[in-house]
Amino acid sequence: MYDILSNDANCFIDNEEVLASLSYGKAVASDPTSIADILEKAKTYKGLSHRSAAALLEVTDKNTLEEIFSLAKQIKEQIYGRRIVLFAPLYLSDYCINSCTYCGYSKNNYNPIRRRLTIDQLKEEVEILEKLGHKRLALEVGEDPINCPLDYVIDCINAIYSLKFDNGAIRRVNVNIAATTKESYTRIKEANIGTYILFQETYHKPTYLLNHPKGPKHNYEWHTEAHDRAMESGIEDVGFGVLYGLFDWKYDTIALLMHAEHLEASKGIGPHTISVPRLRSAEGMRQENFPHLVSDDHFKLLVAVLRIAVPYTGMILTTRESPDFRNELLAVGISQVSAGSCTGVGGYADSKKQSSGQKRLTSLSQFEPADHRSPSEVIKSLLSGGYVPSFCTACYREGRTGDRFMDLAKTGNIADICQANAVLTLKEYIEDFGDTELRELGESIIQSEIYSMSNKNIQKETINKISQTAKGTRDLRF
């Protein structure tokens, strides 16, 4: 039975409640007045229940769809301004004891050169990433306690934070590692991570079991209750995600919102981020063989509905999507994107070697990216679209995590600070990595952002910090 406060995944993601919400959504969506009421309520920026969101997912009428997109855009711009946070994934190890049907790292994929980065190889990767201007990483590993134990991951996190090449620095390390014990979560927390990210893949239990036929990931409850354990171990910022394409997108979107409501009700803090990975072809699998692939139109709708339903949760989009479609999705809710990503272990050094004519190691890619632009190209495209690329990592380093972050975000008190930090980190990027075109585009956005600042004290201090940054000081922040 549905129980939002239960510790049991089968109760806080109760299948009957998801199905009832789907039916409720269908019934409500046939009545235009009810949809108008839901949209009116959403204009207060207080979010929506999973049942109201279910109704919006059913909308097919063109004009109402436009209303949903324009409301999502309005909410996004009100809360996040024009800022887009940038990050890169870093794959540490492709050893895996699971056999996920969709993943290139599945143990069923025979590959004689499974890899785990040595500390020297890690240094090479970090040097390249820092020289691309990245400040925020998402660490990715397959699950294998023998070949990739937690001690190794923690050593890597410590090494990454300590490695500084020229003006570069990785200032926030988020981690995407398999569901684990409370003891391990405590250790990860102590390693000073940013967000703990774990994708549910699908909330539909029979489909989950089918797609995770062997290995520890087969345990649906262990996986689905992982964020609870992480939070109970002191990790305040956790990230969710559905792997769209495994099961019905409406079912999974409703269940994801129920999961967010569960954390909010039982822990007092909802998810810090929601990722929306969509299935891509990978070693050993073709996406065409999966029966629930999500069309672009449906994908755009679900992104917009998530934006409206959980306005204060960051939304992450990766290079699984093409450049043009990424631009379209930025407008309806995405607030963080990855750029210049490699999805294989040692991928950054490998690509560099390949482009300089050296022999490239053919390591496994977890999936095939659809956006192959460099970070600099992504940043130019964002700037040309009027966005403010941000490398900000200030919140968690200033202790603004969990409910402290959410309270500031919900009262709107964080917007001025975020805007200033975005501008400062963009200035750093321009100074350290910008060519003439990037400087021109970037300086003009910086000027207009500073001009638009409503808090005059912050505006004055930002101008001051910008001039110090131009003179070579780094890591100035609010």
By CB atoms closer than 10 A (0-12, 13-18, 19+), residue 75 is: buried
Alpha-carbon dihedral of residues 208, 209, 210, 212, nearest 10 degrees?
Answer: 80
- Find the shortest distance in angstroms from Cβ 282 to ligand SAM: 4
What would the two tokens of residue 417 be? 């600070």
In sequence order, the 6+-apart residues with CB closer than 8 A to the CB of 32 are 61, 64
Shortest Å, Cβ 277 to ligand SAM: 4
3 state DSSP class of 336: strand
- Residues within the interface to ligand SAM (CB under 6 A): 102-103, 140, 142-143, 176-178, 198-199, 201, 217, 243, 277, 279-280, 282, 320, 366-367
Q: Are 159 and 193 in contact (CB under 8 A)?
A: no
Q: What is the DSSP-derived secondary structure letter of residue 218? A: G
For ligand SAM, the closer of residues 232 and 368 by Cβ is 368
How many Å apart are CA 231 and CA 233, to the nearest integer? 5
User: Do residues 115 and 93 make contact, with C-beta atoms less than 8 angstroms apart?
Assistant: yes
Which residues lie below 8 Å from residue 466, measured CB to CB, with a gap of 6+?
Answer: 423, 424, 427, 446, 450
- Comparing CB distances to ligand SAM, the nearer of 237 and 449 is 237
CB of 101 to ligand SAM, least distance (A): 9
Which residue lies nearer to ligand SAM by CB, 102 or 405? Answer: 102
Q: Which residue has the tokens 């809710």?
A: 333
As measured in angstroms, the least distance from the Cβ of 245 to ligand SAM is 8
Q: Which is nearer to ligand SAM, 142 or 346 (CB)?
A: 142
Give residue number: closest CB to ligand SAM.
Answer: 367
Closest distance between ligand SAM and the C-beta of residue 191, in Å? Answer: 17
Q: How far is the CB of 278 from ligand SAM (least distance, A)?
A: 7
- Pick 243 or 417: Cβ nearer ligand SAM: 243
Q: Between residues 5 and 146, which has the closer beta carbon with respect to ligand SAM?
A: 146
CB of 135 to ligand SAM, least distance (A): 21
Residue with smaller CB distance to ligand SAM, 201 or 371: 201
Alpha-carbon dihedral angle through residues 243, 246, 248, 249, given to the nearest 10 degrees: 20
Q: Given phi > 0 = left and psi -120 to 50 = alpha, else beta, which region is 30? A: alpha
Q: How far apart are CA 258 and CA 254, in angstroms?
A: 6
Cβ closer to ligand SAM: 179 or 453? 179
Smallest distance, Å, CB 180 to ligand SAM?
10
Rounded-to-10 torsion of CA 409, 410, 411, 415:
30
